[in-house]
Structure 1
Amino acid sequence: MTAESPQGHAETVRLWSLTEDTLIEAGDDGSLVAITWWGEYEFPGAADGVRESLGRLALGPVSMANLAVPGQAAGSDQWRLSLRKILTRLSGSVVHSLALNDGRGPVLSAIPVTQFPVFPDRPLPPGRQVRLSRFTALRADEGALLAESPGARYKVALFRPPAIAIASALASPATVEQLAETTGVPVPVVADVVEFLVAAGVVLLGDAEGRFIEHGDPDTAIWSHDDLMFHARSRTWQKGPPPDPGVGRTGAEPPVVKPVTAGPTFPLPRPDPLALPDRDPTLTALLETDLACPDFSERPLSARQIGEFLFRTARVRSVGPAHLPGGPAHEASQRPYFSVACLYELEIYVGINRCTDLAPGIYHYDPLWHTLTLINDDAAVLDNLLDMAMIAAGSHRRPSALLTMTARMARIAWVLGGAAYATTLLHLGALQQVFSLAARAMGLAAHAVPVDSGDRVDRALKLEWPAEVSVGECVLDFPE
């Protein structure tokens, strides 16, 4: 039930607070220092009362009317003006909340996710339609329903039924009056909640003709919700989800190399690294060769060729300690392709189709011992993976070998936290490039293929999802 004023009208109250990670310190010279997620801000000569007000805002949501300062002359607004200037500069750490005047806490809160967001404070034009952005997602988060959009400067925590009901009713365009009729929430409360959601950027305001900014916009049309959200969230180590790196350090450090004992193990031949430069093309020649996804021949690979290819691209050269600047020390390895902090979370599985020395099946590659371990000899499962790769490569033949890369997320999240998955995709690209160069140097063809795997790859490799997830594929064969 909404609160009502003495005149019988439902009322809302605007509240402000500072994010939980904001610390306010006072200097001996009367200056203030705000230590925030985004950095430190110094405010020399702050007016009397500002320090007390900021301290109160750090405790939780409060209305500006309740930030009265003892000793200030009646009607004096000097400290309020000073406070508003400071809050404008600290906008990336200021939480805007809306409550009913029933003393039961906020209905919803807009939490900044960028450094200098602007929270517009203007009423909705009468009769305009509103709806959720197609990029907005609603999910549970610590007892609230969280509304997030990759283009929004705020994420909105919906705490109480009126806000949750209104947001949930915005899947299709509606006016404030229509929302009030649908949800049973009084029109004034609906209007204030919708204004809040529009200001936060998770709800769109239609124009006078009922069109929304996303309609016909070529810049947003090329993005799916998942891709744009992933881009926005992976480019900044934001507060809250994704988790802090320390969350992943509850047990022992994940091993440098995944131990696999599923089936028979086959040692692979090792080439002589000193002999390779004499027969390899130059790097310039490899880089200047035009690339295309080749059609594959029927020639089988040999264990020697597979062994040389994996030795040149993915073997462990050494193991030792490493650390990120300011980060935790960890055991690391050196391999031929790039990896941040030498974490090397990628695993390689080899699906053998045609090989003179190895039976068809799916094998796990151990980069430390340079061996293949058979993990799945089901012919139907292997054929399914090879068919997906054949279609993805635009070929009419199955490749001789299919390499599938997976990521052990604990291995990288243990150090990088919320940046883990984006960094994994960077590592995958680095490995695919090394695959391509090494294969051409050997007279082979290695080409990344966009396999639409669903959960088929994870099941074929017997992965413990989501601790280990498949992230990419590469076909290996002779070019025709």
Structure 2
Amino acid sequence: MSPEPEVPRTDPGTLPLWSLREEVTLEASMDGELVLRDGCTTEPVRDADPVLCEVLRRMTFGPVLLSNVDPSLAHPAIREPGAWECGASPVWPVLHRLSHLVVRSLGTDDKKGPLLSVFTKTRGTLFDPVRLTDGDPLRLSPWASLRGAADGDPVLESTLAPFRVVLHRPEAAWSVRVLARPVSPATVLALPLAPATAADILAYLAAAGMTEKA
């Protein structure tokens, strides 16, 4: 079990990071069409504008902050209830269509790497983390299980959820440990973590189907 994380003096702030699965490659066809290849499966991307081309290219190298490609793609890691997740850029429909090839990571601006990453296991399933309100207590789903992985990062999966979550840093593993008992979002904010970081980790876990109302 991961040790209790060190309490940060300031909240580093969270960042929504996007990448393609490691096994996915990006190719250009003879007619200029982009093709994402995952083993024997291909996904064409037609009429891609320069911004989308650059977004996909950078995503092949690992988690990227999309606003570094184009400021118009800036959005928070967690959307507020009732608010749209993204803007009107043509990049979003393509990324949503390719969600089964995309990895959604929760990062911080402290340059220590992502806290956790969410992988979609089924085609056509959208990962949409929403800000949680201080309502009913939550706990870890009884269908969720934590296991080790070859690279050493724990993996959280639920037999009922179309996602799996890789926990990269102690902050994320500690949050899962706390959810072993029913807690309210307000309780999570009292964890030995920066408050906004704790809240966003919980929102990602909830959106991935790893929690349930207690």
Interval of TM-score (by shorter of Structure 1 and Structure 2):
0.7 to 0.9
Map residues 128-139 of structure 1 onto 2, 5 A cutoff.
Answer: 128-139=136-147
Do 2:105 and 2:116's aligned partners in 1 also have CA atoms closer than 8 Å?
yes
SS of 2:63 mapped into structure 1: coil
Q: Which amino acid aligns with 1:17?
A: S
Q: Which of these residues, 28, 33, 36, is aligned with residue 34 of structure 1?
A: 36
- TM-score, normalised to structure 1, is 0.38
Residue in 1 aligned with 2:78? none
Q: Which of these residues, 148, 159, 183, is aligned with residue 168 of structure 2?
A: 159
Does 2:115 align with 1:107? Answer: yes
Residue 200 of structure 1 deviates from its aligned partner by 1.0
Q: Which of these residues, 65, 68, 92, is aligned with residue 66 of structure 1?
A: 68
Q: Which amino acid aligns with 2:55?
A: S
Partners of 1:10 and 1:44 in 2: CA distance:
38
Residue in 2 aligned with 1:259? none
SS of 2:90 mapped into structure 1: helix
Do 2:118 and 2:208's aligned partners in 1 also have CA atoms closer than 8 Å?
yes
Do 1:100 and 1:106's aligned partners in 2 also have CA atoms closer than 8 Å?
yes
Map residues 292-371 of structure 1 onto 2, 5 A cutoff.
Answer: none
Q: Which of these residues, 145, 148, 161, is aligned with residue 157 of structure 2?
A: 148
Query: Which structure has the greater CA radius of gyration?
Result: 1
Partners of 1:11 and 1:122 in 2: CA distance:
16
Do 1:37 and 1:93's aligned partners in 2 also have CA atoms closer than 8 Å?
no
Residue 76 of structure 1 deviates from its aligned partner by 9.7
Map residues 263-274 of structure 1 onto 2, 5 A cutoff.
Answer: none
* Cα 1:37/1:169, change in 2 over 3 Å: farther
Partners of 1:3 and 1:37 in 2: CA distance:
42
Residue in 2 aligned with 1:12? 14
Do 1:2 and 1:10's aligned partners in 2 also have CA atoms closer than 8 Å?
no
Output the aligned Cα RMSD.
Answer: 2.3
Give the structure with the larger helix fraction.
Answer: 1
Residue 3 of structure 1 deviates from its aligned partner by 6.2
Map residues 19-418 of structure 1 onto 2, 5 A cutoff.
Answer: 19-36=21-38, 39-68=41-70, 81-141=89-149, 142-181=151-190, 183-204=191-212, 206=213
SS of 2:58 mapped into structure 1: helix
Residue 37 of structure 1 deviates from its aligned partner by 5.3
Could you tell me which runs of 5 or more consecutive residues in structure 1 were left unpaired when the two chains were aligned.
Answer: 69-73, 212-480
% identical aligned pairs: 31
Quick one: higher RCO (CA 8 Å, sep 6+), 1 or 2?
2
Map residues 418-457 of structure 1 onto 2, 5 A cutoff.
Answer: none
Do 1:133 and 1:202's aligned partners in 2 also have CA atoms closer than 8 Å?
yes
Partners of 1:94 and 1:35 in 2: CA distance:
12
Count of aligned pairs: 195
